[in-house]
Amino acid sequence: MWKSILAATAATAFVASSLVYAQSHRHDGGIDRPHWRLSAEDVAAFTDARVAAIKAGLKLTADQEKNWPAFEQAYRDLAKQRADRLKARFEGRESRQGSTQQTSEVNPIERLQKRADALTTRGAAFKRLADASAPLYQSLDDAQKHRFVLLARFGHHHHEHFAFWRTHREGGAAADDGGDKH
């Protein structure tokens, strides 16, 4: 069981470090080096690994298994939405690089409306995940709840290392300000 958790954690760390490298890639006229980008198959494989790691780490009982499918579906839906958002962002950058349109010509109201729509959609996906997670989480014992918190890490893709160390330094759960760290 721990081998599968370790493998999934290693895969997640690999993907995260690759994404950090890709985000730090220079687009300011510096040396333009090609960088690796996740394919749709990569994203699906890493989502499968993460779901498997969460399930393996929880060691669900037969009664708890009843709550798993709703959680898994909501989790996968959120992962797909995130992958689609990242793909659209990347494609938007590519199209802007090939375009002569300057950023000063972009309508700020239109940009604000698009951002509001995106946040509403993302908020609804998080709400569905929270609603689907509640019965599963409530059925877990204390040890499983602790593992769930460490394995699931909802919405903390960029700051999970900070929350982990802050939790251990303060001797308890990291304070959640309710905001999204993205």
- For the stretch 169-180, pLDDT in tens is 555 544 444 444
pTM over 0.85: no
In the prediction, which pLDDT does 9 show?
66
Query: For 80-120, what is each residue's pLDDT tens digit?
Result: 998 888 888 877 776 666 665 555 567 899 999 989 999 99
**Cβ neighbours around 99 below 10 Å, total:** 8
Using a CB cutoff of 8 Å and minimum separation of 24, what contacts does 144-148 make?
144/58, 144/59, 144/60, 144/64, 147/57, 147/58, 148/54, 148/57, 148/58
Residue 182 domain flag: no
Q: Which domain holds residue 143?
A: 2-26+35-96+108-159
Q: Is residue 62 part of a domain?
A: yes
User: For the chain, what is the domain count?
Assistant: 1
* Nearest residue to 144 via CA among 18, 28, 56: 56
> Does residue 69 fall inside a structural domain?
yes
Asked if pLDDT for residue 159 goes beyond 50, the answer is no
Residue 180 lies in a domain: no
- Determine, yes or no, domain membership for 40: yes
Asked if the structure places residue 169 within a domain, the reply is no
Q: What is the b/e burial string over 116-137, where b = at least 16 CB atoms within 10 angstroms of the residue's CB?
A: eeeeeebeebbebbeebbeebb
- The CA angle 153-159-164, to the nearest 5 degrees, is 65
- Does residue 92 lie in a domain region? yes
> Who has greater pLDDT, 103 or 142?
142
